[in-house]
Structure 1
Amino acid sequence: MSGVNVAIEIDIAKCDGYASCILLAPEVFDFDETRNIAVVKASLPEQLDLTEIDEAIRNCPRRAITRV
């Protein structure tokens, strides 16, 4: 989806590093091995698949991801 402003946040206090978000939306999420948590990539593609992002949000076992 182009031209849409999307902010994705991960609550690092809730994230336990299950990495399901990375499996569902690898172009958006990455794994920080130092902190053992998922993170939002610093550079996101212009064409974001909001369906994949929403699926990652729904499947986060700790409910640590939000889209604003």
Structure 2
Amino acid sequence: MKVIIDEDKCVGAGQCVLAAPDVFDQRDEDGIVVLLDALPPDALRSQVENAAALCPALAIEVVK
């Protein structure tokens, strides 16, 4: 699994961080998503897919 984020789309809602804190974080200054692990283990797949689904800006893509 590979995770791709589009910082330009991100609105800083933070849903990704709540859903998958081992994979996503937010910048302190503006709340934009920070990708902590572009190739997370399969054990985190459901969390990452949930984070992508919850993103209001559709800024997260999960490639299988």
Question: What band does the TM-score fall into relative to the shorter chain?
Answer: 0.7 to 0.9
TM-score (ref. length: structure 2): 0.82
Residue 8 of structure 2 corresponds to which residue in structure 1?
A: 13
Identity of aligned residues (%): 35
**AA aligned opposite 2:46:** T
Higher-helix-fraction structure: 2
2:62 maps to 1:62: no
Runs of 4+ in 1 over 4 A off after TM superposition: 42-47
Which region of structure 1 is more displaced relative to structure 2, 46-55 or 34-43?
A: 34-43
Q: When the two structures are superposed, what TM-score results if normalisation uses the length of structure 1?
A: 0.77
Q: 1:58 to 1:43 in 2, by over 3 A?
A: closer
1:40 corresponds in structure 2 to 35
Comparing 33-42 and 8-17, the one that deviates more: 33-42
Q: 1:65 Cα shift?
A: 0.2
Gaps of 5+ in 1: 1-5
**CA RMSD between the two structures:** 2.0
Q: Which structure's CA Rg is the greater one? A: 1
Q: Give the secondary structure class of the aligned counterpart of 2:58.
A: coil
